[in-house]
Amino acid sequence: MDINLDNLFKEAEKAANNAYAPYSKFRVGAALLSQDGTIITGANVENRSFGLTICAERSAVVKAVSMGLRSYIAIAISTPDSKIPVGPCGACRQVLSEFMEPSSPVIFGGSSDERIRSTTGELYPYDSLHDLAKA
């Protein structure tokens, strides 16, 4: 399957508009590309109890799993309220590694045209627990 990361990023930008971020004022949108070509989007949803906040990346994964989709080949993350690219947090990296191959493309960027292209494996190296589950 041909992966168009620019189009996927545009979907993440649109998803950021749905974020609920009244406390941080930091919107995040994610667009996850499933193995079958479906694009699933998510947005961050904050809570007064910040520990209950869910990131856009995990929002997209939870939505996808709820739809019966469990294999993803790429993700794009948009942080329009930042001038610089902001990568996924550690919890999101862990969750993405559960469902994506280490070679899966990851693209993230802020409000400028600067974007970083990486892979799940580069963001989450030495994924020993995931490797053990395959053994």
Write down the domain spans for the chain. Answer: 5-134
Cβ 103 vs Cβ 120: under 8 Å: yes
**In this structure, are strands 29-34 and 72-78 parallel, antiparallel, or unpaired?**
antiparallel
Catalytic, out of 57, 101, 114, 122 = 57
26: buried, middle or exposed (CB in 10 Å: 19+, 13-18, 0-12)?
A: middle
pLDDT exceeds 70 at position 122: yes
CA distance 6 to 13: 11
Q: Is 60 helix (H, G, I), strand (E, B) or coil?
A: helix
Q: Is 33 helix (H, G, I), strand (E, B) or coil?
A: strand
Cβ 59 vs Cβ 44: under 8 Å: yes
Q: What tokens appear for 127 in the block?
A: 């994924």
pLDDT exceeds 80 at position 135: no
Q: Which one is predicted more confidently, 38 or 112?
A: 38
Of the candidates 91, 80, 85, which has an alpha carbon nearest to the alpha carbon of residue 118? Answer: 85
Of the candidates 44, 57, 78, 60, which has an alpha carbon nearest to the alpha carbon of residue 124? Answer: 57
Cβ 50 vs Cβ 23: under 8 Å: yes
114 in active site:
no
How does pLDDT run across 67-118, given as a tens digit for each residue?
A: 999 999 999 999 999 999 999 999 999 999 999 999 999 999 998 889 999 9
The CATH classification number of 5-134 equals: 3.40.140.10
